[in-house]
Structure 1
Amino acid sequence: MTYGDWALLQDRRGRVYLFRLQPGGIFNYHRGSIRHEAIIQAGAGRFIATPQGERFSIHRPTLEDYVLQMPREATPTYPKDAATICFLLDLAPGMRVLEAGAGSGGLTLYLARAVGPTGQVWSYESRLRHLERARRNLGEYEDWGNVTFVQGDLAQAELPPSSFDGVALDLMEPWSVLHSIVPALKIDRFLVCYLPNLTQVVTLLEQIKTLQLPFLHERTLEVQHREWDIRPPIAHPKFQQVGHTAFLVQLRRIEHTQQNTLLEVR
């Protein structure tokens, strides 16, 4: 660890504190303080204590840690959902993926890591304040140089045909941009929509059928994590849990022909 790196301290109760290491910097706690220089000297994976004896473990923050703690203009896509979206899109290094609704950049970070430095992420966001926050959050954590931010409405975008290996939409009305996506998404590749309520899911699928768009509905799911508090001999679920966050709708792009336009949702 060195100056400029992110550091994460965890106390005995599991509470975490994320900050960037700076020359002359001090981590202040209600039971003492720790110099950043001392944290660097101790190193990640070790322990350090305040003069009053409050003990912390030192870590390099994971992407999950950063997304949960980073500054935000909008509620970020939770890591459990962002990781699942990458899985549902079947992303691999070198692929090109399109995102709309950058928000605070949580999903953008996961997409950028999934496609790697040789891949590309195009991220559309109509709100300048959100776009700038997403750009800063990306750059301050780990900028792979593979993200292009675009301020604008995806419904009005002219996208290169058959250019994207996946599309992720975090929009209130994703059906309003589907006409722009269809030509740009490669055949047999995936679109995933992040939707907070079930009414949006139903409306999306109805619109696909009504507009006769070339998508197969592969599945709709929600990601639920149940963490446990285990302190032998006692074990029970943690009292504070992250419950429902969103439904993830996975759609597969198929070839558009006269024979298959009426049964695209299954």
Structure 2
Amino acid sequence: MQYGDWVLLQDRRGRNYLFRLEPSARFDSHRGSIPHERILEAGLGGAVSTPQGERFTVHRPTLEDYLLQMPREATPTYPKDAATMAFLLDLAPGMWVLEAGSGSGGLTLYLARAVGPAGQVWSYETRPKHQARAQRNLSAFEDWGNVTWLGADLAQAPLPPEAFDGVALDLMEPWTVLPAVTPALKLDRFLVCYLPNLTQVIVLLEQIKDQRLPYLLERTLEVLHREWDVRPPIAHPKFQQVGHTAFLVQLRRVRD
């Protein structure tokens, strides 16, 4: 750990504080402040306290920690959904994946990490402000140089045939880009759509049937995490829960 790195402080109640370490800077809380120098000295897995006795443990932030607190132009894909999309796409290091839109870069980060430095992510976004934010968020946290940013409409994009091992679509009307995307997806590989409401899911499946697109519907699901507050001998579900965020539709490309 060194100056310039992201660090996460966690208090005794499990609340997290994310920031970069800077020379001569201080972390301020309602129970006092701590010089960044002392945090650096404590190191990862260590602990620091304010003069008033408030104790914090020191950690390297996870991708989930960063995604939930990073700046945004659009609502980011929740970590539970982004991780599941990477799983549904069956991604591995060295693969190529196509994404639209870039949003705030949350899903991009998960895809880039899944395919690794030897892989490639092509990220399409029609809104320059959103894509600029996604670029900044990615480069600020973890940038392997494996993301190609494209400010264009995916529906009109000239894509190389059967070049991609997976396609991730976070669009209001993903069916509008399917004719352009389908030839670029390898046979027997997956396309996953992120859709906030069930009406979009139904329209998507109707459009696939009407356009006679070569996809099998593998599954439609929503990812629900139910966290528990366990402090023996007391245990109960946490009062604040993240409920529905989106439906994920997994499609498999087959021969025409």
What is residue 138 of structure 1 aligned with on the other side? 138
SS at match of 1:118: coil
What is residue 42 of structure 1 aligned with on the other side? 42
CA distance in 2, matches of 1:223, 1:85: 10
1:192-233 Cα deviation digits (max 9, x unpaired): 000000000000000000000001111000000000000100
What is residue 231 of structure 1 aligned with on the other side? 231
CA distance in 2, matches of 1:153, 1:110: 22
* CA shift for structure 1 position 183: 0.7
SS at match of 1:191: strand
* CA shift for structure 1 position 152: 1.1
Matched, 1:112 2:117: no
Letter in 2 for 1:119: G
CA distance in 2, matches of 1:92, 1:25: 40
CA distance in 2, matches of 1:243, 1:152: 33
CA distance in 2, matches of 1:95, 1:82: 17
Aligned length: 256
What is residue 197 of structure 2 aligned with on the other side? 197
CA distance in 2, matches of 1:115, 1:186: 16
What is residue 171 of structure 2 aligned with on the other side? 171
Identity in percent: 77
Matched, 1:32 2:32: yes
Matched, 1:245 2:242: no
CA distance in 2, matches of 1:26, 1:7: 13
SS at match of 1:166: strand
What is residue 150 of structure 1 aligned with on the other side? 150
1:46-125 aligned at under 5 Å gives the runs 46-125=46-125
CA distance in 1, matches of 2:217, 2:15: 41
Gaps of 5+ in 1: 257-266
Letter in 1 for 2:158: E
Letter in 1 for 2:65: D
* CA shift for structure 1 position 253: 0.5
CA distance in 1, matches of 2:152, 2:25: 39
1:157-215 Cα deviation digits (max 9, x unpaired): 01011100000000000000001111100010000000000000000000000000001
Letter in 2 for 1:18: L
What is residue 187 of structure 1 aligned with on the other side? 187
* CA shift for structure 1 position 13: 1.2
CA distance in 1, matches of 2:224, 2:194: 14
What is residue 17 of structure 2 aligned with on the other side? 17
CA distance in 1, matches of 2:194, 2:125: 15
Q: CA RMSD in A?
A: 0.5
CA distance in 1, matches of 2:5, 2:209: 49
CA distance in 1, matches of 2:23, 2:139: 20
What is residue 216 of structure 2 aligned with on the other side? 216
1:231-265 Cα deviation digits (max 9, x unpaired): 10000000000000000000000110xxxxxxxxx
Gaps of 5+ in 2: none
SS at match of 2:177: helix
CA distance in 2, matches of 1:235, 1:189: 42
CA distance in 1, matches of 2:74, 2:242: 17
* CA shift for structure 1 position 124: 0.3
SS at match of 1:74: coil
CA distance in 2, matches of 1:14, 1:133: 29
* CA shift for structure 1 position 99: 0.2
What is residue 161 of structure 2 aligned with on the other side? 161
Runs (4 or more) in structure 1 with deviation over 6 Å come to none
Letter in 2 for 1:157: A
Letter in 2 for 1:238: K
* CA shift for structure 1 position 46: 1.1
